Every structure is written in C-alpha cells, then in structure tokens.
A and B are shown apart, each in its own frame.
Chain A
C-alpha cells in the first residue's frame, strides 16, 4: 500500500514535466521561421494546400497565442503528432515502428555497461594503485574522451572493412528473410558493433563511479565488523561491499537514460541502425521539423517512464529512499 502511494506520487510528479516538454516544443515551433502550419507540414513543399488550410484551422492560427498553445497541448496529449509527408504516414505510427530497434540497442548498452562497469570498477578498487587499477583507470580516461561516432567509425574500419567480422550497417541482412532463431542471430550479429561503440563511453563512466564507490564503502564500519567476525576478504566484497557500492551506479544509470538516447542518434546514424535516432537524422536532412519535434517528445516521455521505473526498483532495493 505504501509502495503504491509512492508510485502515484512519483507519477503525479512526472506529469508537469511532460507538460513542460510540450510547451517547450510549442515555443520551438514559434521560433522556427514561417508559421506553425508551414513548419508542421515540413519544408519539403509536398503538402497539399487543403492540408495546409486544415492545419491552420486545427492550430487556430487566427487566435491568440495562449489559445494556440492550448490547442497544441490538446493535440499532443491525444498523441496526434501530425503527418510526415516525406514518409507518407502519421508521425506517431512512424515512430512506433522505429521504437523497437532503439529500445533493443538502449537496453543492451545499459545492461552491458552497468555489468561490466561494476566488475571493472571493483577490480580496480580491490587492486588500488597496482597495475590492474592503473590499466583500468587509463582505459577509462581514454574511453571517456573518445567521441562516440568516431569510435564507431574506427570499429567499422577495423572489424568490418579490414577483418570482415561484422556487418557495417543495418539491423538485418536485407535479402535473407531469416525467421525465428536465425533472425535473432542475424540481429545480434548486427547489434555487436553499435552496442560496443555506445557501451565504451558509459562503461568508462560507471567504472570510475564504481571504483570511487567501492573505495568509499570499504572504509565503513560494517566492513570492520565483517572482518572482525572472520569473513574472508572475498566474502566481504561479494556479500557486503558490492551491494552497497552498486547503488550510486544504478542511480547514475537511471539518470543517464536520456544521454544514452542522445548518443543513440549518432550511433544509429553511423551504423544505419533503423531506430528513432536514425529517424531523427533523416528528418534533419529532410527538414521535417515536425517529425523531429515528435521524436524529441517521445524520447523525453521514454526517459520519464524509465526514470519512474528506476525509482520504483530502487525503492524496492533500498527502503530508506521513500522517506526522503
């Protein structure tokens, strides 16, 4: 019961955020050159005059600004995000079809980087100032400074062009029409390079965080107690320190979902991975601002939802959180 109340409170907290994003979208529409209908129809010049007239009516462009805002909010809240002439389908449908690949990429990156980061970070902390620590720390400094898109391109040069181990782009072999297990294997094969590219950066971040967190935890009293009652160092680290040290990493991973979505734009562009990020890049080229705004709105909603889930999972892991 208590948990439910907490969940509802968090949900109520999220609604104003989503509304604020809608208002921000509206402001961006106002900033763009031309009136909202011209922007929404896309600058491809392919919209029919009838559609333009209908858009102007829908948005009440003859009405005062606050009325326009209300109408815009009403449209977005009912998930009527307009129509993309470039793609010939409604924006919401278009995005739905591209959501899956992005979620797959994001989920893989998030779990890979958290797991590997926790392992490497605690390895470095347990061998403080020895070669393991120096190696891990130097690698994280390098990975943390590497632009994601460049790492992707260099991985393509080495592993696709020179060695031929992985495909350079796409999510599936176009002409193969695999089904079932073969299809999953094919997708996984295509997923390796984009996932590794994006993981490198976040892996570096979580490794640094985990290392610092473990170093902080080992000075705590409970570690002294555990040692006093005769546990081995391995037991202390596995059963006590790791669990506590992981909490900041999990929090950070939750905070970073939005950043990973942003990183997905460049990685999907580099590898032609058919997700929301590639769609954003395409709409940039087609000057389809309405589609871009739609992607922006949906990604932000996605971040809000994931943050909500992380919060709930977190309060289940650590009951003290709810009290704050």
Chain B
C-alpha cells in the first residue's frame, strides 16, 4: 500500500490531477457559503462582462455565472460518482458471474452485454431521460444504465483468469461456497483493475451528463454546467464568455479525473507502466 502511494505521488500528472480535483471538490463545498441561495436567482443586469462586480459576469437573464459554476460543481460530482457507483455494481455483478461460472451463463450474459455495447450509448441515454423524465435521480440512473458494459467485460476477463488460479482451486477443494469464493477471494484480487476503470468511468459519466444537460435534458431545479452552456448558446455571438467558463470547468474536471485514473493505473499495475 505504501509502495502504491509512493508510485502515485511520483507520477507528476496524477498529482496535478489530484490538485485540480481537490479544487473542484472545494468549489462544491464553498458554493453554499459564498453563494448561498438559488443559483437560478436573478441578481443583476444581464450580460455583465466578467471581471466586474461579478467575477464571471452574468448571463442573459442576469444570473450570477460564478454561482452557477460553483453550484454546478456539486451536480457534476454527484452525477459522476453516483452513476459510476451504480454502473460499477451492475458491471461487476454481470461480468463477475459470467467470468466465474463460464459456459452457458457466460454466453448468455455476454450476449446481453454485447447488445448494450452495440447501442449508441448517448442516444440511449437521451431516450431513457426522455421517457423517464429528467429528475436528477433519473439522469443518474440513465447514465449508469449506458455505462456498465466496459466494466462487465473487464471484470469478466479478470474473473476468468482468477478462476483457474491455484488459490481459487484450493478454496473449491476446501468446499467453500461460490458466494464466499467470489466475494472474499476473487473480488479483492480484482479490486485494483476495478478502481482504475471506475475512475475513468467517472470522467465519461460527467461528459454524458454535460451533453444531456446541454441538449436541455437536465433537472430544472439543479444547476449544471451543461445547462449553462446550452442556454448561453443562443447569445454566443454577443456574449461568448457565458459558454466559455462552464466549458473550461468541465474540461478541467474531466482532465483531472483522467489524470488521477492514469496515475492509479501506473501505481496499481506497475508492470504495465511502460506500455
């Protein structure tokens, strides 16, 4: 564990990522203190340029953009991590069962996964939100439903490799039940791969959320970066900064998570580092 930590902090891009991510998390915490109240509230004249009384200016209705960005950080992090947790649960269950039992179970589950991988996932997310409605919980659900297949494939591969290892065979010959072998012996050994894939999945989930809210599929009561860009789009010609600022926020957050994920990958799988 110490080695892992040392390898992680030696990796400079990962440290930069961690720092950026800490900033985003800080923004989410600070939102309620510096900008309490509704980020949708109209506070000043519309179209105030940045660097005046309002550091990022105001949008076409006179809403404070800085408040929108800070509150948006909460939404982004919530959706990113919640959707990833659900998707990881789904992917690990499906991939784990397929890899552990093999044979017909594997064939059936993998055909199921394949169907979900064939579907254009962003279109599927749009459809789900259009059908179910656009509350924050349903958006999280929709993103989770479209992002589990890569996790299932990865976990299946790991479980298949573990299944034939001596320690698993030893467990079988000791008469251990399937559940116990899976949960106590195989799962802990695949955790590092799951953590790496999961961390990259957070980034994808954030990109999907921002795309959905850009298209107008966001919770009307929750501020989100994609929503600001989507609504600022019509005034791009006169006030491009309304779209620019939240985009930079998305870019930095996603980049931070990707860098941390790469760093974790190097730290947890040192043998693959040179690839």
| A contact set with B: CB distance below 8 Å | 16-17, 20-21, 24, 28, 31-32, 141-142, 144-150, 153-154, 156-157, 161, 212, 215-216, 255, 258-259, 261-263, 265-266, 269-270, 280-281, 284-285, 289, 292-293, 295-296, 299-300, 303-304, 307
Within 8 A of A (CB), among B205-228: 207, 210-211, 214-217, 226
Q: Tell me the complex Cα distance, A259–B259, Å.
A: 22
> What residues of A have a CB within 8 angstroms of the CB of B255 in the complex?
141-142, 144-145
Asked whether A259 lies within 8 Å of B215 as measured between CB atoms, the reply is: no
Known: A145-B254, A145-B255, A153-B236. A265 touches B126 (CB 8 A): yes
Q: In the complex, are the beta carbons of B215 and A265 less than 8 A apart? A: yes
Task: Mark the stretch among B27-35, B45-53, B111-119, B166-174 that contacts chain A.
Answer: B111-119
A154 & B237 in contact (Cβ 8 Å cutoff): no
Q: Are B215 and A300 in contact, with the CB atoms below 8 A?
A: no
Bound Cα distance A148, B252 (Å): 14
27 contacts between A and B (CB under 8 A): A21-B118, A28-B128, A141-B258, A144-B254, A145-B203, A145-B254, A147-B214, A147-B226, A147-B254, A150-B210, A150-B247, A150-B251, A153-B247, A154-B243, A154-B247, A161-B236, A215-B274, A255-B117, A258-B118, A258-B119, A262-B120, A266-B122, A284-B130, A284-B217, A292-B130, A296-B119, A303-B118
CA distance A28 to B128 in the complex (A): 8
Known A153-B243, A258-B118, A293-B127; contact A141-B259, beta-carbon cutoff 8 A: yes
Q: Hey, which chain A residues are within 8 Å of B5, CB to CB?
A: none
Q: CB distance B236 to A261 under 8 Å?
A: no
Task: Report whether B121 and A157 are in contact in the complex, using a CB–CB cutoff of 8 Å.
Answer: no
A284 to B123, CA, bound (A): 11
* Also in contact, A216 and B275, with CB within 8 A (given A17-B114, A145-B258, A157-B236): yes
5 A-B pairs closest in CB distance: A262-B122, A150-B247, A145-B255, A145-B254, A258-B120
B→A interface (CB under 8 Å): 13, 111, 114-115, 117-124, 126-128, 130-132, 203, 207, 210-211, 214-217, 226, 229, 233, 236-237, 240, 243-244, 247, 250-252, 254-255, 258-259, 274-275
